[in-house]
Amino acid sequence: MKTITFDQIKTSSIALEFDELIPDEIYSWTEADFAKYQVPIGNSRFPITDFFKITVEGEANGPEEVEMILNGDLNRVKYIGCKMSAGNILCNSSVDLHVGAEMSGGSILVKGDAAAHAGREMSGGYLEIEGNTKEFTGASYIGEWRGMTGGQIVVGGNAGKQCGECLTGGRIHVKGNCDILAGIHMTKGIIEIDGDVNRWPGGQMKNGNIIIHGFLGRLLEGFVLDGIVVDPEVDGVTFPGKYIKYTGDIGLNGKGNLYLGAEANKEKLAEYGELDDEYTSIREYRNL
């Protein structure tokens, strides 16, 4: 096993780009190799050793035997783990844009928050962010139609808007709350949200599953009430509890499933005459 430790010396006002510094590329590097490397910053390059003291310990026969440890303030370091296929990266700080973007394997742990586009277009591997993420987690990138296709993203805090946009596979688990349009344009995969959702999850979804345990502010018109389900099994995973199930988005002949935690939304639904105390009278849950 090889451990490569980056201890920050100073920060940069312009973000450092770490897409070349992934286990796939540096598993054979020595400290002398890092001393010669220049990191992209904007349209220029500067010695990486101006910003980090780099310590290399152990040997690796491939990227799967590498662990990168990044210490310091990483808020101006972007593309960490971008396109990695193996190995482990530990970020002991919040990070900038595109952490885990297009990764196909390996694991990344961020002990803080992540900026936008975390895990965008990833096809495999495991990305965990202990804090919050901004918009477009696990989503497609500008001009693209396909977002995350595989792997797993876990967000310990809250997620910003359009989490899982264009999701075509894999699983996203948000343990906090989620902003608007989670799962917009999704065609496959699972988005699970433990907390509350602002409004409009699953817009224009064609397939896939969204499970919301918390309170939902508004549901789009394109979802049709299916009924009450208990302990639903979704792609081999059982979600304990009672859920109100909807399908949609019917505007696109969608066959996606939205499971809304019944207990968390019972009071609001009853207030609008959507649901009685025994769940025996349910009508459509529209924009309330």
* pLDDT over threshold 70, residue 122: yes
Digit-coded pLDDT (tens) for 80-89: 999 999 999 9
The full set of domain ranges for the chain reads 1-92, 113-288
Digit-coded pLDDT (tens) for 220-253: 889 988 888 899 999 899 999 989 899 999 989 9
Task: Output the CA torsion sign for 216, 235, 188, 82.
Answer: positive
Q: What is the mean pLDDT of residues 169-197?
A: 97
Determine if residue 25 is left, alpha or beta; phi over 0 gives left, psi from -120 to 50 gives alpha, anything else beta. alpha
Query: What single letter denotes the amino acid at residue 41?
Result: I
Regarding pTM above 0.85, the answer is yes
Digit-coded pLDDT (tens) for 43-84: 999 999 999 999 999 999 999 999 999 999 999 999 999 999
